[in-house]
């Protein structure tokens, strides 16, 4: 009910509501997905953002008419990938954060699929969220919405020559080590992204 109210509120101001369903499914997670997608369609959700092929198939077959966008979690980095998903009925692809401006321009030249691209936010140490560090460090699944951002924690570094005892590098480096300390900030490049054919900014 709250989601439907939110969709109606957004519509008053000419805005659209999208729902991210970009988890990596495990066996049994598909139960109820079709009914859920139909409810989203019926309350007026503009599109669902999905990465798992099984969920894409369920949404397409059990909730016809619901627009499907490919999530950045699917790591789309080339025009052939966009064309593949276009043939399966997807209308927009959220590119992987790792795509360069030059690659973006080339992709735009070779496909008419709608392109969405990130302009801010965390840069994953892995490839567009395909990481299990959080799973091991905190038992929270990064690919199912639970990332604890373990790559941003502060770590001590050790030198561990083969067959020898490890040696702490504390004091030899200026500060504690973090694997992923820099966020994306593309605000100064938004005009270039628009010129290169991006349809939507995330």
Q: What is the pLDDT of residues 27-82, one digit of tens each?
A: 888 889 999 999 999 999 999 999 999 999 999 999 999 999 999 989 999 999 99
Query: At 169, is the pLDDT very low, low, confident or very high (cuts 50, 70, 90)?
Result: confident
Q: Which conformational region is residue 74 in: left (phi greater than 0), alpha (psi within -120 to 50 degrees), or beta?
A: alpha
How do the domains of the chain map onto residue ranges? 124-181
Per-residue pLDDT reduced to its tens digit, 86-121 = 999 999 999 998 899 999 999 999 999 999 999 988
Given a contact cutoff of 8 angstroms between Cβ atoms, the answer to whether 186 and 119 are in contact is: yes
Examine the pLDDT at 189 and tell me if it is beyond 80: yes
pLDDT score, position 185: 87
From residue 181, give the alpha-carbon distance in Å to each of 50, 118, 130, 131, 132.
Answer: 27, 17, 17, 16, 18
Query: At 16, is the pLDDT very low, low, confident or very high (cuts 50, 70, 90)?
Result: very high
From residue 131, give the alpha-carbon distance in Å to each of 52, 99, 137, 162.
Answer: 15, 18, 12, 27
Given a contact cutoff of 8 angstroms between Cβ atoms, the answer to whether 37 and 66 are in contact is: yes
Examine the pLDDT at 11 and tell me if it is beyond 80: yes
Stronger pLDDT, 158 or 180, i.e. the higher one? 158
| Placement of tokens 């401006």 in the chain | 101
Stronger pLDDT, 197 or 130, i.e. the higher one? 197
pLDDT score, position 129: 66
Query: At 174, is the pLDDT very low, low, confident or very high (cuts 50, 70, 90)?
Result: low
CA–CA separation, 184 vs 7, rounded Å? 29
pLDDT score, position 40: 96
CA–CA separation, 98 vs 118, rounded Å? 10
Stronger pLDDT, 163 or 197, i.e. the higher one? 197
Per-residue pLDDT reduced to its tens digit, 112-160 = 999 999 998 877 777 776 777 778 788 887 767 777 778 888 887 788 7
């Amino acid at each position: 009910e709250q989601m439907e109210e939110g969709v109606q509120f957004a519509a008053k101001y000419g805005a659209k509501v999208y729902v991210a369903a970009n988890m990596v499914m495990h066996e049994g997670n598909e139960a109820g997905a079709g009914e859920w997608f139909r409810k989203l369609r019926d309350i007026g959700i503009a599109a669902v953002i999905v990465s798992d092929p099984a969920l894409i198939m369920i949404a397409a077959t059990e909730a016809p008419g619901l627009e499907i966008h490919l999530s950045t979690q699917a790591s789309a980095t080339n025009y052939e990938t966009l064309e593949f998903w276009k043939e399966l009925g997807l209308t927009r692809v959220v590119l992987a954060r790792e795509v360069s401006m030059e690659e973006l321009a080339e992709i735009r030249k070779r496909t008419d699929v709608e392109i969405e691209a990130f302009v801010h936010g965390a840069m994953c140490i892995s490839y567009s969220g395909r990481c299990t560090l959080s799973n091991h460090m905190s038992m929270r699944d990064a690919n199912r919405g639970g990332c604890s951002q373990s790559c941003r924690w502060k770590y001590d570094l050790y030198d561990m020559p083969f067959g020898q005892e490890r040696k702490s590098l504390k004091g030899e480096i200026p500060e504690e080590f973090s694997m992923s300390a820099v966020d994306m900030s593309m605000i100064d490049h938004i005009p270039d992204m628009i010129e290169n054919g991006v349809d939507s900014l995330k």
